[in-house]
Amino acid sequence: MKIVLITGIDKGIGKALAEKFLEQGYFVIGTVFEDTDLSNDNLITYNLDLASGESISNCVEGINKSGKKIDILINNAGVLLDKEETSVVIDKLRKTLEINLIGTIDFTEQILSLINKEGHIINISSAASSLGRPYADSRCPANYPSYRISKTALNMYTKTLAFRLNGEIIISSINPGWVKTDMGGQEAELTSKESAKNIFDFAISKPETGQFWSDGKKYIW
């Protein structure tokens, strides 16, 4: 049975991903910040606060003790703390980087030895991270600078890790689209189920490592 590790499965895209992988016969290791109402014989959960180094180490230790090796890691958990701001608010920048970037990298580096060769690591990024597309348009207002900075930097981690691992494990950044979740809001285009299906299809494909993807196509960094 193939094994997927997904961070942040208590709601939103992460929850829909956990449900999709379970439905497709995967064993799911999920992390939750507090609790989850998901339960399944093929699911185990561990607590994880990406803002805490201690929590990250404890979570990795728990997964390690389970003896399970991972085929796919999806770094899904993240925060959008400056949805209404157009200027950087330093406290929010620190917290955002701590969770979306540093905690995510720390977790990935610590879990790396448990990921099978030919596995796939997916960093959930965002269209708002892109340096190459217009900064703002009708679908993406000129807001959330700290969030953007965190995801742009996460994309560079994708590149860095892909270069280091040289194809041994595939590393991807992916834009999940604009999704109806607490983060995306109810006016968004996709349901979390639709986004999870797209991410699932992409996760089980064997894409070129070190790239940024959206709708199954390469996206502009």
Ligand X SMILES: NC(=O)c1ccc[n+]([C@@H]2O[C@H](COP(=O)([O-])OP(=O)(O)OC[C@H]3O[C@@H](n4cnc5c(N)ncnc54)[C@H](OP(=O)(O)O)[C@@H]3O)[C@@H](O)[C@H]2O)c1
Pairing of strands 43-47, 70-75: unpaired
Q: How far is residue 207 from each of residues 25, 34, 69, 169, measured CA to CA in Å?
A: 22, 33, 21, 11
Strands in 43-47's sheet, in edge-to-edge order, are: 43-47, 27-32, 3-7, 70-75, 115-124, 170-175, 211-214, 217-218
Q: In terms of CB distance, is 127 or 169 closer to ligand X?
A: 127
What six digits make up the tokens of 220?
A: 């502009």
CA distance 6 to 175: 16
CB of 161 to ligand X, least distance (A): 17
Q: In terms of CB distance, is 84 or 182 closer to ligand X?
A: 182
CB of 167 to ligand X, least distance (A): 25
CB of 22 to ligand X, least distance (A): 16
- 76 makes contact with ligand X (CB under 6 A): yes
Site string for ligand X, 98-137 (x = CB under 6 A): -x------------------------x-x-----------
Site string for ligand X, 158-187 (x = CB under 6 A): ------------------x-xx-xxxx---
Residue type, 157: Y
Range in contact with ligand X (rule: CB under 6 A) among 6-14, 109-117, 160-168, 207-215? 6-14
CB of 15 to ligand X, least distance (A): 7
CA distance 62 to 78: 21
HSE-up (13 A, CA, CB side) for residue 165: 26
Q: In terms of CB distance, is 124 or 165 closer to ligand X?
A: 124
Return phi, psi of residue 64, to 5°: -60, -45
Near ligand X by CB under 6 A: residue from 3, 48, 114, 161: 48
- 96 makes contact with ligand X (CB under 6 A): no
Write out the residues near ligand X by the rule CB under 6 A: 8, 10-14, 33-34, 48-51, 76-79, 99, 124, 126, 176, 178-179, 181-184, 188
